[in-house]
Amino acid sequence: MSDAYRSYIGGEWLAGGDEIAVENPGTGEVFAAVARAGPDEVDRAVAAARTCVADRRLTDMRPSARGRLLVDMARWIRDHEDEIVEVLTLDSGKTLLESRWEVAGGANFLEYYGGLADKIEGSYIPLGAGYIDYVTPVPYGVSAHIVPWNYPFELTCRGIGPALAAGNAVVVKSPELAPLSVTYVARAAEAAGMPRGAVNVMCGYGHDAGEALARHPGIDQITFTGSVETGRKILYAAAESVIPAVVELGGKSAGIVLDDADLDQVTDQTRWGIFSNSGQVCSALARLVVPARLHDEVVDRLVTMAGGLTVGPGIEGTDMGSLISGHQLEQVDRHVRAAGEDGASAAIGGERIDRLGHFYQPTIFPNVTNDMAIARDEVFGPVLSVIPYGGVEEALRIANDSDYGLVAGVFGNDLDQATFLADRLEAGQIFVNEWFQPSIEAPFGGFKRSGFGREKGADAVRGYYQLKNINISRGS
């Protein structure tokens, strides 16, 4: 087995016994293998991280030195960007352009948190002449990260960046689907000179390595991105261990189109909002809520746009790649069939693409009502519901009528009306006139069942340290 696809534990590359076959979703063919980690490897990784914490290899560093390590990781990633992009495209099914954005995004996160490392500050509390009282941030210790398959590289960097900046050691469980790019994060840590045990990366199945990591008594904090169902299990495990958790879960995000919206802009943003990564995005623009009088025109524009997208293996430079697996293809098709039973009729798409790999047609359902399952359940595929509304208050009610609250959006030129809606939309991040605004500096996280805690921005670092108050009596 190539060193690139081994586990990285305690500064060593370990092959282990078993392997996980890695499929190219664009062809359905196995093209690589990664070392399979189980409970034994989890024990070893957590032990390595605990030793790093006990020896204070990160916490005794100058914060600026920790920051330079993260910046050096980012530099190594940029130097190897083309290789990582190709590997990510092959094992995730996304397009070359999407992979390049993701790899660049991962490097950006590491650079950002590298620059923030020496700005994590404590405070002094004046209690009078007889006392010295101050507050200092203290890392939790061992931070566990269970990474999803839809953005494995970027979300690994997004999670470990603030954790390492705060002085934690990290243990990463990469997804069994699309795991290969995450090994490059470990290679970047090694090349940057991260202390042994500071960064540990392994791949394993969720029911095996993932559960062992989530329930391990040696972890002090856990970060998870994935489904609500699995998120509940992570939170149960965290509660049993009485440790903090940051969880980003599902979404069924709505974008409200106002009467004065630029429909060319709406069409372009919807293209990226629902068809990026074949719709396998927690914050995808899954529901477009449009004025009834504009409904048909908007749908016509969207159908023309979707019909012009090329779909195929991402490595070929297509507009939309494959779904991650045959199972995911089945799930998407099941949701589409159920929509038909509910009375919805696709204006375009609605079928699998008959070719090697796991491809689904870009699909648009017009005239959807918000009580239909297709408007309520997370599909995680290239499927858009267009929902007409009569007045702005109705649009707001439709958008907020969801179990989820990850992101939402507004399209329109009247900023007074847009901000009125933004203030009232029940979601953790609101996009106005541009979906997926590329801001690593702003906090990101969910309301309702979309999770809690914040990723991105300076707020993310607060999820990786606790406050210690030290009070010194100077005597009489």
Catalytic-residue membership of 282: yes
Give rounded-to-5 percent helix, strand, coil for the chain: 45, 25, 35
The tokens describing 1, both together, are 């087995």
Please give the full DSSP string across 440-469, using - where no structure is assigned: TTS-B--EETTEES-BSHHHHHGGGEEEEE
Rounded to 5 degrees, what angle do the CA atoms 249, 411, 148 make? 20
* Residues written for the chain: 476
Q: How far is CA 470 from CA 122, 135, 137, 266, 311, in A?
A: 11, 6, 11, 54, 60
Separation between Cα atoms, residue 437 and residue 415, nearest integer Å: 17
Q: Which amino acid is at 227?
A: S
Please give the full DSSP string across 160-194, using - where no structure is assigned: HHHHHHTT-EEEEEE-SSS-HHHHHHHHHHHHHTP
Cβ atoms of 183 and 1 within 8 Å: the answer is no
DSSP for residue 370: T
**Angle, nearest 10°, between helix axes 96-116 and 81-92?**
120
Q: State the catalytic residue, choosing from 23, 111, 282, 455.
A: 282
Which one, of 105, 214, 100, lies nearest residue 161 by Cα?
A: 105
Q: Indicate left, alpha or beta for 428 from its phi (over 0: left) and psi (-120 to 50: alpha).
A: alpha
The tokens describing 218, both together, are 């040696």
Q: State the catalytic residue, choosing from 111, 248, 378, 455.
A: 248
Maximum Cα–Cα distance for the chain, whole Å?
84
How do strand 169-174 and strand 142-146 relate by DSSP bridges?
parallel
Cβ atoms of 148 and 201 within 8 Å: the answer is no
The tokens describing 148, both together, are 């999803």
For the chain, count helices (H), then strands (E).
Answer: 15, 21
Q: How far is CA 334 from CA 252, 329, 358, 373, in A?
A: 17, 9, 14, 11
Burial class from Cβ neighbours inside 10 Å (0-12, 13-18, 19+) for residue 263 reads middle
DSSP for residue 75: H
Q: Which amino acid is at 187?
A: R
DSSP for residue 316: G
Separation between Cα atoms, residue 232 and residue 240, nearest integer Å: 12
Separation between Cα atoms, residue 125 and residue 469, nearest integer Å: 10
Separation between Cα atoms, residue 35 and residue 367, nearest integer Å: 48
Q: Which residues are designated catalytic?
A: 248, 282
